[in-house]
Each structure stands twice: as C-alpha cells, then as structure tokens.
C-alpha cells in the first residue's frame, strides 16, 4: 500500500504561506490561459455553428468569400431550377439572392471598423435557423430600411432602433433589432437585396443561399451546379464555408497557447521550488519512511501526488478566477477583424466545461513537471546521510 | 549458543571522505542469539552505529556477510532490503522520528500499510501496540502534543506493531530526561523478557547498558569486549502476549 494521501494533504496545509503563494501563482496562470482560450472559443463558435447543415452557398468559381464573388441576375433562374432544392408549401424553391457590401462605421468607443451590410431576399431569414427578430419589425423592400443585429447595435453609433445609418450619400432607417444566437449574422446589418443592388449600382449578387432537401438533394445540387457549363459557379456547404473562416481565431489561439506555455514554464519552476523546499524540510521524514520499508517508488509517487494536489488547488482557483473574469469583466460582446471578409466579427467570451477541464489538465501538467525532480530527489535520498544530517 | 539470529562475519565497512578512505569496521565477527538484549557500546567513531545500521539493513557492507535468520541481507538489493526491513526490523531512533502531520495512531499504523492487513485488523494491532506502551489514551494526539518520553513510546509502538524479528534502537534514551529514559528502558526490558523480542541497542548510557543482558564493546571498528550480564527477573504483562499474534500473517 502507498503512503497515505492524508500525509500529503496535511503537509500542504502545514506550509500554509508557501502553499498559498504557489497555488495563487498557478491559479493566475490558469486564469489567464482560460481567458485567452475562452476568447478563441467564442470566436470559433461564431463560425462553427453558423448556418444550417442543409444550406448550400453558391459563389463564383474560384472566389474565396462572398466579398470577391459575383453572380449575374440571368444566372439565378438556372440555379434555382437545379435538382435537390427544397421547396416551401406553395412549391416555390427555398433560396435567397444576397449582396454583401462592407460599410466603414463609427464605433461607440471611438474609431471605425468595417461592418457587413447584407442584402437578402424574402426567404433569407427563414434559411437561417438562429435568426430571431428581437425588437421592432422586419424591413420593407424598397424603403431603405435595415434591421441590425443586437451586437452591432451595441457596438456602433446610429445603430439603435429608429436611428438613421448614413454612409456617403446613402441612408437607411433602423426598423428592427435581431439576434442570431452568437452566429455570423450577429456581426451584420440586413436590408432588402434589390434595394441594396440599386443603391450601390451593382449588376451582380454576391451569393445565392439555397436550402436543399437532404444529403441526397445536396449532392444532386452540387453535382448539377458544377457540371453546368453555363454557370461557372461553385457550391459550398454553408457550414464548411464558415468553418474555413475559423482561421480568424488561429492567431489568437496561437497567442493563447504561446503565452500560456511561457507562463506555465514559470509556474512549473514555482511548483518545483515549493516541492524542493518541502523535500528539503522533510529529509528526516523521508529517511524514516525508507527505514520503515517504503520503496523508492512509494516515496516518488507520494511526492508527485503532493505536487499534483498543490497544482490542482491552483487549477481550481484558476477556474474560479477565470469564471469570475469572464462573467464580470468580459461578459459583453467584443469584436475583431475577420480577415476573410475584412469586416468586423462580433463574439462573446465562452468559458465552456471543456475549457475548464483543459485548465485543470493544464494545472496538473504544471504540477507533474514541477514535481518530478524534487520527488526523484526525495525517492533516492540516501538513508544514512539523511539520518546523519539531521541527528 | 544454539539459536543464532544474527550472524556477522568478516564485516568491513569503509567510507569515503573526499579522496580519503575511512575504515569504520574492520573484519568484525559477531553473533546475536534469538531473544537476546544486546547493548553496543564504545567511544564515538568506534563503529557501533554503523554496525547497527548494517544489521538493520539500512546500510550495506563493503565486504563480509550478515545473516539475519536465514536471510543474507548483505547480498540484497535496495528494494529487497526495503521489503525485508518492513517485515523484519523495528527501528527506534534517538530523536523518535515521528511524522509530525500524523497522529500517534497514524504513525503506528504506517508500517502496517506495507502488510496485507485490512483496515479493521490494522486498527486492532495499532490499539494493542499503543496499549503495550501505555498510550491508549493518546491515540489521536499529534507528536507536538506529546512529551519526549511519550513520543519515544509511540516510536516503540511503531517499531513493534508488525511483530518484527528484530528491534534495533540507536541511543533510544539519548534525548530524554532521566525519568522518561528509565520508563523507556523498562519498556524495552519488558519487550525482551515478556515478548521474547531480540533487541540490539546502541548507547552511551550506562543505565541503558545495565538493562541489557549482554554488553558488546567496540573500539576502532573491532570487537573489544563481550560481557554477558546475569539474567534478570521480569514482570509479566497479563494478556498482552496476544499483541503480537499473527501480525505477520
């Protein structure tokens, strides 16, 4: 049987100040790590859950995003008569022709940022399951009216209900506020597509969003579109289109892991220092345990467990601090630039149970690497020397 | 001399101090009979503690052999020795060496964690060991809440709880006042006479040596004198004989 766990737990509490400071150090490292990871998670989620699995986005062949795509009006009838498209109860195909324009707008906090203005057809909202009109009403075609996402409404000037958004010589009235449950439309302003085409004197749409019947319908539609020589278009699943944009979160994730790693190395040394002090102060105890017959492995395991317990306390504190930080200091929405569309993407920090678990594992790794060397020193203490040293 | 427990032959122990080699024991031959109470005496540096450590299996000889019972401990590896110590040796230190964060009960229980005994049996054995040393009412006390004499009695309970083949003690009264030292010596004497424990102690204290049945004097690493004392009478500990039943089973 191993050395009892209470031996380690009580020893941690005997050295209250040292233990407390090490736990605090590890806790702060874990909290910072969790904050950065929750930022990355929030941003990733925007793209991962956006769209519907049944939706297909049609773009010009070889274009990377809606911004550099173009679909002419005369191509629309050819697209919407392809096989695999779902229909409403009246038998009309479910699709939305859309135009994406980037507006440079003033932020409430000062400075400007690009915001996506999306012109959509009548069925546009129905194709987006997360869309919900929260205040006001839907825009009416031809009246230069817009609806604004709640996140954009909070972050940008003149975006509240009944405000007028001005851009160059154009102006639109905000008649509704919508909510898209943290998905891509939460970073957008919507208006009627024909009005927008006319306002911006565009001759082509940016994309066509199509609802297919099922997986079979999806395959039929994609194959038919790709094989039609008149179209020169490409079809992408809406989900995969957005998932590709998760690369926006990559630099943040890299930064988070890089900073976390550097701090973790520091925290490892903190834990190591504490454990070396513990081993040094307990040389006599360790020698006694060896005399009683406890093996090298028992001592090694015992001190590694003690280091893991120390780090676990830090991990739990870190999770608590992380939760507190995200709930209190980072509770609102924030934004960054989506480098695929060069427009603002709005997101909220998300501290999920998985991230918290990662934080705990992260702290245990700190404990493991910080504890190995001191525990090895303890395990291979020379009994005679250790007894002589203290007697 | 018909039942030797410890057999030491041609025992040599050298230590290195820098480039210098020190010979602490030089070709020592020595036998301890089963059930003997032996006091090792001699001036500082005579090799008595080294001999005790070698017999207890916490140090290894440079050459020669040591048998305890039928086990040749001088040829065992580190991990074999650790396992052997847990089954055969009860060690009593001068400074008690109790674990400060564990109670008297938990300290005494420690060696039993290395046996296959279950929780209930362990408790029974710990209670008996603490009863023998007269500390049944101090089970939940931490070492800091005990006097020096009481701490040493807990250490003795820890040493006897597994019913080891051999009890070894290094200056067991060295840190105690006269009264406590006397109590500890009486206890050791009773363990020898009543429970037939073989005991080897290292001591400078003539009162401690007087309690032993045999006094071995070492000087400069060789056996100088070996005196057998007269057998003494002993006081029986009623019923406590049960204390050691089956601990090793």
CATH number, position B195? 3.40.50.300
Give whole-number Cα distances, A89 to A86, A92, A94, A130, B12, in Å.
10, 7, 10, 21, 102
Interface test with B, best of A292, A300, A391 (most B CBs within 10 A): A292
The neighbour count for residue B234, using CB atoms within 10 Å, is 11
What distance in Å separates residue A380's CA from the closest CA in chain B?
10
Between A289, A291, A295, which is nearest B79 by CB? A295
Q: Is B97 on the interface with A (CB under 8 A)?
A: yes
Number of H helices, E strands in chain A: 12, 14
Average pLDDT value for residue range A18-35: 89
Residue B41 scores a pLDDT above 80 = yes
Give the C-alpha separation, A121 to A71, whole Å.
15
Model pLDDT, residue B10: 93
> Position of tokens 């009593």?
B92
Give the C-alpha separation, A153 to A178, whole Å.
9
**Pick from A164, A116, A103: which is nearest to A346 by CA?**
A116
Interface test with A, best of B99, B107, B167 (most A CBs within 10 A): B99
Question: Is B114–A288 a contact, with Cβ atoms under 8 angstroms apart?
Answer: no
Q: Is B114 on the interface with A (CB under 8 A)?
A: yes
Give the C-alpha separation, A67 to A102, whole Å.
8
Task: Specify if B62 maps to a domain.
Answer: no
Which secondary-structure segment (H or E) carries B74?
A: none
Q: A284: which chain B residues are within 8 Å (Cβ-Cβ)?
A: 95, 97
Between B53, B79, B97, which is nearest A296 by CB? B79
Q: Which two tokens stand for residue A264?
A: 């973790």
Residue B236 scores a pLDDT above 60 = no
Determine what percent of chain A is predicted with pLDDT higher than 70. Answer: 92
Give whole-number Cα distances, A258 to A32, A265, A306, A335, B109, in Å.
12, 11, 27, 22, 48
What distance in Å separates residue B174's CA from the closest CA in chain A?
11
Give the C-alpha separation, A69 to A63, whole Å.
5
Q: Backbone phi, then psi, for B133, in 5-degree steps?
A: -85, 5
Interface test with A, best of B14, B85, B101 (most A CBs within 10 A): B101
Average pLDDT value for residue range A122-145: 88
Task: Specify if B25 maps to a domain.
Answer: no
Angle between helices A296-324 and A5-14 (to 10 degrees): 60
Q: How many domains does chain B have?
A: 1
Task: Specify if B67 maps to a domain.
Answer: no
Q: Backbone phi, then psi, for A172, in 5-degree steps?
A: -130, 145
Question: Is A293–B101 a contact, with Cβ atoms under 8 angstroms apart?
Answer: no
Question: Is B113–A290 a contact, with Cβ atoms under 8 angstroms apart?
Answer: no
Interface test with B, best of A3, A285, A293, A301 (most B CBs within 10 A): A293
Question: Is B86–A292 a contact, with Cβ atoms under 8 angstroms apart?
Answer: yes
Q: Is B83 on the interface with A (CB under 8 A)?
A: yes
Task: Specify if B6 maps to a domain.
Answer: no
- CA-based nearest residue in chain B for residue A291: B58
Question: Is B91–A291 a contact, with Cβ atoms under 8 angstroms apart?
Answer: yes
Give the C-alpha separation, A383 to A385, whole Å.
6
**Pick from A362, A373, A361: which is nearest to A303 by CA?**
A373
What distance in Å separates residue A361's CA from the closest CA in chain B?
29
Between A1, A7, A295, which is nearest B99 by CB? A7
> Position of tokens 């070698």?
B54
Residue A89 scores a pLDDT above 70 = yes
Give whole-number Cα distances, A206 to A97, A250, B59, in Å.
8, 26, 84
Task: Specify if B125 maps to a domain.
Answer: yes
Average pLDDT value for residue range B225-242: 49
Q: B53: which chain A residues are within 8 Å (Cβ-Cβ)?
A: 384
Model pLDDT, residue B143: 95
For residues B93 and B170, is the Cβ–Cβ distance under 8 A?
yes
Strands A95-106 and A112-120 turn out to be antiparallel
Give the C-alpha separation, B169 to B189, whole Å.
13
With a CB cutoff of 8 Å and minimum separation 6, the contacts of B233 are: none
Task: Specify if B55 maps to a domain.
Answer: no
Model pLDDT, residue B239: 32
Q: Backbone phi, then psi, for A256, in 5-degree steps?
A: -60, -45
- Residue B172, domain extent: 35-49+78-213+226-244
Between B58, B84, B100, which is nearest A384 by CB? B58
List the 60-79 stretch of B: residues with Cβ below 8 A of A: 78-79
Average pLDDT, chain A: 85
For residues A3 and A297, is the Cβ–Cβ distance under 8 A?
no
Task: Specify if B28 maps to a domain.
Answer: no
Residue A343 scores a pLDDT above 90 = no
Question: Is B86–A293 a contact, with Cβ atoms under 8 angstroms apart?
Answer: yes
The neighbour count for residue B219, using CB atoms within 10 Å, is 15
Give the C-alpha separation, A293 to A311, whole Å.
28
Model pLDDT, residue B109: 96
Q: A2: which chain B residues are within 8 Å (Cβ-Cβ)?
A: 113
Question: Is A292–B114 a contact, with Cβ atoms under 8 angstroms apart?
Answer: yes
The neighbour count for residue A297, using CB atoms within 10 Å, is 12
Average pLDDT value for residue range A1-14: 85
Question: Is B113–A1 a contact, with Cβ atoms under 8 angstroms apart?
Answer: yes
pLDDT band at residue B246 under the 50/70/90 scheme: very low
Residue B142 scores a pLDDT above 70 = yes
Task: Specify if B202 maps to a domain.
Answer: yes
- CA-based nearest residue in chain A for residue B117: A1
Between B59, B85, B114, which is nearest A1 by CB? B114
pLDDT tens profile A140-178 = 888 889 999 988 888 888 888 889 888 767 788 999 999
For residues B51 and B218, is the Cβ–Cβ distance under 8 A?
yes
Average pLDDT value for residue range A209-220: 88
């Amino acid at each position: 049987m191993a050395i009892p766990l209470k031996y380690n737990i009580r020893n941690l509490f005997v050295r209250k100040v040292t233990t407390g400071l090490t736990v605090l150090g590890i806790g702060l490292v874990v909290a910072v790590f969790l904050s950065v990871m929750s930022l990355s998670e929030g941003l990733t989620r925007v793209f991962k859950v956006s769209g519907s699995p049944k939706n297909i986005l049609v773009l010009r062949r070889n274009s990377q995003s809606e911004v550099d795509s173009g679909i002419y009006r005369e191509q629309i009838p050819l697209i919407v008569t392809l096989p695999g498209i779902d229909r409403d109860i009246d038998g009309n195909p479910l699709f939305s022709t859309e135009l994406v324009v980037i507006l440079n707008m003033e932020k409430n906090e000062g400075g400007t940022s690009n915001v996506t203005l999306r012109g959509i057809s009548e069925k546009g909202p129905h194709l987006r399951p997360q869309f919900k009109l929260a205040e006001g009403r839907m825009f009416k075609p031809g009246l230069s009216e817009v609806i604004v996402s709640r996140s954009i409404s909070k972050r940008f000037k003149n975006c509240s209900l009944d405000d007028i958004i001005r851009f160059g010589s154009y102006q639109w009235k905000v008649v509704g506020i919508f909510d898209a449950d943290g998905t891509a439309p939460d970073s957008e302003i919507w208006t009627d597509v024909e009005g927008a085409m006319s306002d911006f004197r565009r001759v082509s749409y940016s994309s066509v969003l199509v609802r297919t019947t099922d997986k079979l319908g999806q395959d039929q539609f994609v194959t038919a579109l790709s094989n039609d020589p008149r179209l020169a278009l490409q079809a992408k699943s809406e989900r995969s289109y957005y998932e590709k944009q998760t690369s926006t979160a990559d630099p943040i994730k890299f930064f988070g892991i890089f900073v976390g790693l550097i701090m973790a190395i520091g925290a490892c040394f903190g834990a190591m220092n504490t454990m070396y002090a513990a081993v040094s102060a307990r040389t006599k105890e360790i020698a006694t345990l060896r005399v009683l017959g406890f093996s090298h492995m028992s001592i090694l395991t015992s001190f590694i467990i003690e280091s893991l317990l120390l780090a676990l306390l830090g991990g739990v504190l870190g999770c608590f601090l992380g939760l507190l930080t995200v709930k209190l200091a980072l509770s609102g929405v924030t934004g960054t630039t989506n480098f695929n569309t060069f427009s603002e993407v709005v997101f909220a920090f998300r501290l999920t149970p998985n991230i918290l678990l990662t934080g705990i594992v992260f702290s245990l790794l700190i404990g493991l690497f910080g504890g190995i060397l001191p525990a090895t020193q303890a395990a291979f203490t020379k009994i005679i020397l250790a007894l002589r040293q203290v007697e | 001399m018909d039942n030797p427990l410890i057999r030491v032959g041609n025992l040599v122990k050298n230590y290195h101090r820098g480039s210098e080699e020190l010979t602490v024991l030089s070709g020592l031959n020595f036998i301890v009979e089963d059930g003997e109470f032996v006091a090792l005496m001699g001036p500082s540096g005579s090799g008595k503690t080294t001999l005790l450590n070698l017999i207890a299996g916490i140090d290894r000889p440079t050459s020669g052999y040591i048998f305890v019972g039928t086990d040749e401990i001088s040829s065992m590896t580190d991990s074999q020795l650790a396992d052997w110590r847990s089954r055969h040796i009860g060690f009593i230190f001068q400074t008690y060496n109790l674990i400060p964060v564990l109670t008297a009960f938990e300290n005494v229980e420690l060696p039993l964690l290395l046996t296959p005994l279950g929780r209930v049996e362990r408790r029974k054995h710990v209670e008996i060991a603490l009863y023998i040393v007269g500390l049944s009412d101090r089970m939940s006390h931490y070492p800091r809440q005990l006097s020096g004499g009481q701490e040493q009695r807990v250490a003795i309970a820890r040493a006897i709880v597994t019913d080891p083949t051999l009890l070894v003690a290094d200056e067991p009264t060295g840190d105690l006042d006269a009264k406590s030292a006397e109590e500890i010596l009486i206890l050791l004497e009773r363990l020898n006479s009543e429970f037939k424990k073989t005991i080897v102690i290292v001591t400078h204290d003539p009162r401690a040596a007087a309690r032993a049945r045999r006094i071995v004097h070492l000087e400069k690493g060789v056996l100088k004198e070996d005196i057998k004392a007269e057998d003494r009478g002993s006081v029986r500990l009623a019923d406590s004989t049960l204390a050691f039943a089956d601990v090793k089973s």
